[in-house]
Every structure is written in C-alpha cells, then in structure tokens.
Structure 1
Amino acid sequence: MTWLLDTCVLSDFARGEAGTLRRLKASSPAEIAVSAITVMEVEYGLARAPVRAARVGPVMRALLGAISIVPFSAEDARAAAALRAALEGKGRPIGAYDLLIAGCALSRGMALVSSNTREFARVSGLRVENWRG
C-alpha cells in the first residue's frame, strides 16, 4: 500500500471530483487504503444525513469494499500520541480524527491523500498529496 486516503477524498470521489477520479482510476486498489478511523467518519456522515446517504452511500461503500481498510494499531496510537505532544507543544494542534489518521500514515510509511493540506502541513515527516483538480 502506498496511499492512505483521508475522509475528504471519499467525499470527492462520491461527488465525482475530476482530479480525484482520475488518480483513483490510475491507481491499483492494492496501492490504496483507508484507516478504520476514516470508515467511522464516513459512516457517521451517512448516519447523520439519510437523504444524502441514500444517494452517495452505495458509491462510498463500493469504494471501501474495493480497497484495504487498515485497523488502528498500537503503533498507530504511539505515532499519534507523539504527534499530538509535538503539535500541542508548538501550540499548533490538529483535529482529533486527523491526528489519528496522520499517526496511521506515519507509522506505516504511507503518503496521506487529502485536500486538507493546511492542517496536515503541520505534521513533520508526513507526505501529503492533494488529488483535487
């Protein structure tokens, strides 16, 4: 696996965002994964918006069924804890779920695909790619 997709990438996919669709089509499913944290965020979003869920839920779940879902491991937790301490020490924390997803990417040596580049730019050593556009 090479790329860990952030939750916003799945939303872009469901909306048919051109750059995201192009990159996903050009990539092998074996190269792409999401964290179990992202699955929770997707499912939460769908549960909160039943009308939207009826429209985009099947598309998002089809993508999730085609790629790997990596569990949140003890190594991921340690990486996220160190990251949280470092960012809070600088007075530049990031959101809790973003912190967990970044920890997962860091511990596994994966690039994180996200359009939320401003938030993730604070994370030292994290490779971030934006597939929008």
Structure 2
Amino acid sequence: MDPHGGTGARRRVRRGASRQSGRPDQPGGRSDADREGVLRVHRESFRSSRRGGISPSSRRRHRDLEPRGSPRRVVGTLIDTSVLVAAERGHLNREAVFAAIADEDGGMAMAAITASELMHGVHRLRGAGQAAAERSCRTWLSLLPVLPFDLDVARVHATLTTHLRGAGTPIGAHDLIIAATAVHHGHAVATRDRRSLARIDGLEVEYW
C-alpha cells in the first residue's frame, strides 16, 4: 500500500506557521509572536531541568511497522489528544511536555481533529471546570500549530480507510484522521493509545 496516495512531497511544519485565532467566545490560538514568546519562556525555564521529562530514551517507538519502498524520513511529531489530556490530569509531567515542544522548535503540531476534541472538552463542562479547561485549551493551541484536514490529507485518509477495512482492522474515525495527517506530513504520532495507531502501515508511533 502506498499510504501517501501520490500526493507529492510531504510538507514540514515550520516555526511560525500561520493559524487563525478562534472566535472571541471560543478557545482559540495566539498570534505567531505570542506563541514564540511562550516557547521562549518554556525553553529558558525547563531545558536545564529534564528530571521526569520526555527524552528520546524514554519514548518507546513502534518500529515493527516499516513503510514500503524507500525509508521514511520523520520530520516532526503530531501530538495526540491522549497526551495532552494525560498532561492535564497529572499522568504525564505537564512541564516536561512543554519542554519537549520547546526543544523541537516548531517540529511538533496537532491535527485539526485534536483541536476539535480539546474544544469539545471545554464545551462539555460548566463553571470553574470549564474556565480551567479553556485556559488549558488555549495554552496548547498557542504552543502547537494545527494541521488542517485538507484535500491532500483526505486522499491519504481514503487510502488508509480502504486498506484497514480490507484487512479487517478498522480504527476510530478521529484516530484515522490523526494518522492520515501524520502520514501525509511525514510525522510520527505521540500518543498514549497502544492499540489503534499501531495498525497503520508506515506510521511511526511514540508512546509517551
């Protein structure tokens, strides 16, 4: 299977990639200048202290799913919702995740569906809980560029869907969108899910 569906060269996430801010009544992203300021603070605050952090040695990569043809060059990491939720709930060191994002210097991003899941979590809550969730949502959106589900990603998504259903190993709709986004852009996926994403041929998975 060619997971890229003939879509051409993969695009790398670059620091300062543009992203529209959300509407005033919804969680949204900051400007590029604001995001750079936040990243600079996290670099200065956390780079010198990585105890309990996320380092390459502590990331367990799923390497038994190798792409066919020429070796696949991973150029970035797509952060799954499960990682962000785990950081907010204390199952992961939140500051270490900030540090990992800062150290990658623009190489980490989230899929548009992940942004939707974060904002959905905000809208489900009420009162103080909603306010806290909205602050967290805005923080993640300010740090991580959001990669859209565009036509190129849709082509990969269709190819992956056909392959997985044909093999009798379908995965959840949102996970499939994240996988298609990662495959198209040449990204690994950082996740806490040990089942679904491991089924994608050619996708490198990092378990955080």
TM (norm. structure 1) is 0.88
The answer as to whether partners of 2:87 and 2:97 remain within 8 angstroms in 1 is no
CA gap 1:19/1:117 in 2 versus in 1, 3 angstroms: farther
CA distance in 1, matches of 2:87, 2:77: 15
CA gap 1:26/1:99 in 2 versus in 1, 3 angstroms: closer
The answer as to whether partners of 1:10 and 1:60 remain within 8 angstroms in 2 is no
Rg: which structure is higher?
Answer: 2
Matched position secondary structure for 2:169: coil
Give the aligned residue type for 2:174: Y
CA distance in 2, matches of 1:20, 1:127: 23
Q: Which of 68, 73, 89 is 2:145 aligned to? A: 68
Match of 1:17 in 2: 91
Match of 1:33 in 2: 109
CA distance in 2, matches of 1:112, 1:24: 16
Stretches of structure 1 lacking an aligned partner (at least 5 in a row): none
The RMSD of aligned alpha carbons is 1.7
State percent identity of aligned pairs. 35
Matched position secondary structure for 1:111: strand
The answer as to whether partners of 1:14 and 1:60 remain within 8 angstroms in 2 is no
Give the aligned residue type for 2:77: W
Stretches of structure 2 lacking an aligned partner (at least 5 in a row): 1-12, 14-75
Q: Within the alignment, does 1:46 sit opposite 2:122 as a pair?
A: yes
CA distance in 1, matches of 2:159, 2:187: 17
> Which sits farther off after the overlay, 19-28 or 96-105?
19-28
TM (norm. structure 2) is 0.58
Q: Name the structure with the higher helix share.
A: 1
